[in-house]
């Protein structure tokens, strides 16, 4: 597996060119898989060359960190574990609709819980999951900087943060990576944050790089998303919007056929071609899909390929928000 570097100087972190998003192993996409199967799957991912694994305290909640910790324990010194803080989740994981909480004392409480669930003595990459408007980002960055000095955290990042927040945070404790949605399906980061990331030497870790699975070409235009599937709550997947938005999937499928790769590989290769400091983290629970995704790192898109993809994608207008109203309120601008 090829590698890439997130961040620069003291904040640099080398990881596999494609990581693995682990959220779906514990929530969001229908019936949950057997936990023991996922533990074995995580080991298979390591064997396949993945070194970046992404989880969060809110996934499950808590259960995903425990699962990832179990699966990666035999390989701890070979992998980079990324997790996240920022929600006020009780120790027992009860209650729903957790409020934001990035107060310094809560960050310290949260990191101890994550370390315990992951079964490790350090977190390789620790993200603020969502920006807390009640806490100055300088206080957050300072607290994480103290955790780095103590060795409990090695690198840190932000998720769905705006450019000004990134600048303020980076000025206190150098930021290694920003995690945000980015794909052919959602390109807003190209203008809102990517120029800032390039200027400051911060990496981008796109989640949902396959458009929550639809850019694999396996979800038809008339598909519906049932209970337990996060897509059922997202406006862009409502029946009318999805029928219209499926035109982008058709573009990806057509371009993939022309290139002789799968739609997922085309979509991931397009992301990798945008900047050398981008490391997508597609989620999957199936070994053959993982192997397919990792194959994208070996797909070379020429300038002509990229221009043709750009021209075809520009003809499709995506309709519907990427978040429901409650989640949209958590995005930092």
Lowest mean pLDDT segment, chosen from 138-147, 148-157, 294-303, 317-326 = 317-326
| 3-state class (DSSP) for residue 94 | coil
Can you give the pLDDT at residue 301? 98
Here the tokens at position 3 are: 């590698």
- Over the chain, what is the mean pLDDT? 96
pTM: predicted TM-score of the whole model, two decimal places: 0.97
Can you give the pLDDT at residue 95? 66
Q: What mean pLDDT is predicted for residues 203-223?
A: 95
Residues 6+ apart with CB under 8 A from 228: 29, 30, 31
197-208 as b/e, with b when 16 or more CB fall inside 10 Å?
beebbbbbbbbb
Can you give the pLDDT at residue 316? 96
- Rg of the chain over Cα atoms, rounded to whole angstroms, equals 19
Q: What are the tens digits of pLDDT across the range 87-140?
A: 999 888 876 678 999 999 999 999 999 999 999 999 999 999 999 999 999 999
Q: What mean pLDDT is predicted for residues 305-313?
A: 98
**Active site annotation includes 59:** yes
Which of 65, 109, 127, 87 lies closest to 330 in space, CA to CA? Answer: 87
- Tell me the domains of the chain and their CATH numbers: 3-213+273-299 (3.20.20.100)
| pLDDT value at 29 more than 90 | no
The β-bridge partners of 203 are: 177
- Tokens 């991931």 correspond to what residue? 268
CA 205 centroid distance within chain? 6
Residues 6+ apart with CB under 8 A from 90: none
Output the DSSP codes for 102-116: --HHHHHHHHHHHHH
Q: What is the band of 327 on the pLDDT scale with cuts at 50, 70, 90? A: confident
Alpha carbon of 48 to those of 206, 223, 287: distances in Å? 20, 32, 9
Please identify which of the residues 59, 126, 127, 182 carries the catalytic annotation. 59
């Amino acid at each position: 597996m090829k590698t890439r570097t997130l961040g620069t100087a003291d904040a640099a972190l080398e990881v596999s060119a494609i990581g693995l998003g682990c959220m779906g192993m514990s929530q969001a996409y229908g019936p949950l898989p057997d936990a023991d199967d996922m533990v074995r799957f995580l080991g298979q991912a390591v064997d396949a060359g993945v070194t970046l694994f992404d989880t969060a305290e809110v996934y499950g909640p808590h259960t995903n960190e425990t699962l990832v910790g179990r699966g990666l324990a035999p390989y701890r010194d070979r992998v980079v574990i990324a997790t996240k803080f920022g929600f006020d989740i009780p120790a027992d994981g009860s209650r729903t609709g957790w409020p934001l909480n990035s107060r310094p004392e809560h960050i310290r409480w949260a990191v101890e819980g994550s370390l315990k669930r992951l079964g490790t003595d350090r977190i390789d990459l620790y993200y603020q999951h969502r920006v807390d408007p009640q806490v100055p980002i300088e206080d957050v960055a300072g607290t994480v900087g103290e955790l780095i000095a103590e060795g409990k955290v090695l690198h840190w990042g932000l998720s769905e943060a705006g450019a000004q927040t990134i600048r303020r945070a980076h000025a206190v404790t150098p930021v290694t990576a920003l995690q945000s949605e980015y794909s052919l399906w959602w390109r807003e980061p190209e203008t809102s944050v990517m120029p800032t990331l390039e200027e400051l030497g911060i990496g981008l870790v796109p989640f949902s790089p396959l458009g929550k699975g639809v850019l694999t070409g396996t979800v038809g235009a008339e598909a519906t998303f049932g209970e337990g599937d996060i897509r059922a709550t997202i406006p862009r997947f409502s029946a009318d919007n999805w029928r219209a938005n499926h035109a982008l999937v058709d573009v990806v499928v057509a371009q993939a056929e022309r290139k002789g790769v799968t739609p997922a590989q085309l979509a991931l290769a397009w992301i990798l071609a945008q900047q050398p400091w981008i490391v997508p983290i597609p989620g999957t629970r199936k070994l053959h899909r993982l192997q397919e995704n990792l194959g994208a790192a070996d797909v070379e898109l020429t300038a002509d390929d990229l221009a043709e993809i750009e021209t075809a994608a520009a003809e499709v207008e995506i309709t519907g928000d990427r978040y429901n109203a409650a989640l949209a309120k958590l995005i930092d601008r």
